[in-house]
Structure 1
Amino acid sequence: MSNTEQLVNTGIVGGLAEVKNVARFLTLVETLIERPEGLPGLGVFHGYSGLGKTQASIFAQNMTDAMRIEVGESWSKKTLLQKILVEARVEPRRATIADLTELAINALADNWPRPLFIDEADKLADKKMLELVRELHEHSQVPVLLIGEEQLPEKLETVERVHNRVLDWVAADYCDHDDARLLAEVVCPELTISDDLIDYLIETTKGRARGLVINFNRIKEHACNYREKDLSRGSFDEDFFFTGKRRGRQPRRAA
């Protein structure tokens, strides 16, 4: 049994490891870590906003002791390198970009086989900083996983020397009924939520993990306020739930 299968089968955190996007992410991490010698170690996890990419990366970080950074809108090359050094447990110091790059390469190599997750990697493409990531990877050989929106693969295509070093591409997917049920068990394990309510929430949120989690938290709050444990579609007005467009009203109460 592979390391990823062992992690997924543990059912850690109320089954969160069994959510398909988490399993996909963990499998990609394992692919990068266990790649044969001579193969590139860049991976890309991409998809639409709200599918749970960041949550999957945080879960995988806890499982693998990965280094993880989330690129900010204002970041420069120096900021990127300093953040990587902090994650590699090296105190950043005043230095040139070239010196910081060398420090980061050495720090990453010293942390092998800890992978590096870079969330919001779209910003690196927009800021023309992908070549720096390629340099860090090539000289340290540490697995690097780029996480971003659905257009990230197209953005990487514009930087050929980065694009042709990607070992694997994995797309995050929308939640199905099983995923939604697992998320409900993580967020509100004390409640019994009917299948018709689960299916309605998938339709309402278009299967986006973020929207499902928000709605399960609303259901949990409602259940606490009204001391209910069994919830179904008929327990709520249509506009009670989060859709990303407007705030819902209070749930309908039986006469």
Structure 2
Amino acid sequence: MTANENTVKTGGSIAPLTNVATLMMLIETLRSRSFGLPGLGVFSGDSGYGKSVAAQYAMNKTGAVYIEVREYWTKKTFCQALLAELGHHQPRGTIASMMEEIIRQLGDAPGRPLIIDEADKLVARGMIEYVRDIYETTQVPIILIGEEKLPRDLEAHERVHNRVLDWQLAQPCSLEDTEALAKVLCPGIEVAQQLLDTIRKQTGGRARRIATTLHELTQFARNNGLKSVDPENYAGRIFTGETPVRQRAGGRR
């Protein structure tokens, strides 16, 4: 894996993030697996860790087929969405006929990964066996991305669980990840390492909250004519995920 494979585009620029490298390595593990080994991989972790961003990057880098499962999907809309990603315009037909077409097309390119984001919803709606059917008949590498509980949820589906070759957990952003994001999201502004570490800790290492905070920091610096920002002069917000509460007179909530 080259250095470029460990990076993710952010607002038109590129920032290296640990979870991107983790997902790319998982995909490579599945693609290069020995004959007879299972070909499913699971990439799970808390919301906001940057899993979907990593998936989008991996799609662009590897040419993977990528779908993000929606809350309202049925078995039919799952098949339609997957066929649409495979190039079909307004796919129609029975579920069986659409599954046959999905299998035919994926089977024609067995090295092309299939990335399914929000795979928890397939488990919850009783559709995860469709993924197993696709895998069994095509042998394409399939990556299931979901929340922290996805591995536990899959335990109830033994035939799927047994076909997972590798399990990887998305990690909260490290200080190095936070510094990389700051270089991209705070152009022309020097952000003190101590402040970045505070941001990382207070956001729980969630990439989405860190990015939102760094955007706020950039606006704060520009509005105040600052070229460098540190814990002493930063008076902007840090997005911790807590719901803001209006303070009443006398300090009572």
> Is this a same-fold pair by TM over 0.5?
yes
Aligned partner (choices 235, 241, 246) of residue 244 of structure 1 = 241
**Distance across 1 between alignment mates of 2:202 and 2:7:** 30
Letter in 2 for 1:23: A
| Other-structure match for 2:88 | 90
**Distance across 1 between alignment mates of 2:104 and 2:240:** 46
Kept in 1, the 8 Å contact 2:80–2:92? The answer is no
C-alpha distance 52-60 of structure 1, shift in aligned 2 (>3 A) = same
| Other-structure match for 2:189 | 191
C-alpha distance 210-248 of structure 1, shift in aligned 2 (>3 A) = farther
Shift in Å, 1:11: 8.4
**Distance across 1 between alignment mates of 2:14 and 2:203:** 21
Kept in 1, the 8 Å contact 2:173–2:207? The answer is yes
Shift in Å, 1:248: 10
1:73-121 residue CA offsets vs partner (Å, 9 max, x unmatched): 1101111111111111233532111111100101112233221111110
Kept in 1, the 8 Å contact 2:40–2:163? The answer is yes
Letter in 1 for 2:100: E
Kept in 2, the 8 Å contact 1:43–1:166? The answer is yes
| Other-structure match for 1:253 | none
Shift in Å, 1:224: 2.4
Q: Which has the higher helix share?
A: 1
SS in 1 for 2:98: helix
| Other-structure match for 1:225 | 223
1:164-219 residue CA offsets vs partner (Å, 9 max, x unmatched): 00010000011111111011112123211101111110121111111111101111
Shift in Å, 1:6: 5.0
Shift in Å, 1:236: 2.2
Aligned partner (choices 151, 154, 161) of residue 153 of structure 1 = 151
Aligned partner (choices 169, 172, 185) of residue 171 of structure 1 = 169
SS in 2 for 1:105: helix
C-alpha distance 62-217 of structure 1, shift in aligned 2 (>3 A) = same
| Other-structure match for 1:8 | 5
Kept in 1, the 8 Å contact 2:6–2:21? The answer is no
C-alpha distance 91-37 of structure 1, shift in aligned 2 (>3 A) = farther
Kept in 2, the 8 Å contact 1:116–1:145? The answer is yes
1:45-74 residue CA offsets vs partner (Å, 9 max, x unmatched): 001111111111111111111111110011
C-alpha distance 184-6 of structure 1, shift in aligned 2 (>3 A) = closer
C-alpha distance 196-248 of structure 1, shift in aligned 2 (>3 A) = farther
Which blocks of at least 5 consecutive residues in structure 2 are unaligned? 247-253
Count of residue pairs brought into register by the alignment: 244
Shift in Å, 1:9: 6.2
Kept in 2, the 8 Å contact 1:121–1:148? The answer is yes
- TM-score, structure 1 length as denominator? 0.89
C-alpha distance 167-9 of structure 1, shift in aligned 2 (>3 A) = closer
SS in 2 for 1:134: helix
Kept in 2, the 8 Å contact 1:108–1:142? The answer is yes
| Other-structure match for 2:123 | 125
**Distance across 2 between alignment mates of 1:21 and 1:248:** 33
- TM-score, structure 2 length as denominator? 0.90
Shift in Å, 1:125: 0.4
| Other-structure match for 2:249 | none
Kept in 1, the 8 Å contact 2:37–2:165? The answer is yes
Kept in 2, the 8 Å contact 1:240–1:247? The answer is no
SS in 2 for 1:174: coil
C-alpha distance 24-148 of structure 1, shift in aligned 2 (>3 A) = same
C-alpha distance 111-189 of structure 1, shift in aligned 2 (>3 A) = farther
**Distance across 2 between alignment mates of 1:171 and 1:9:** 16
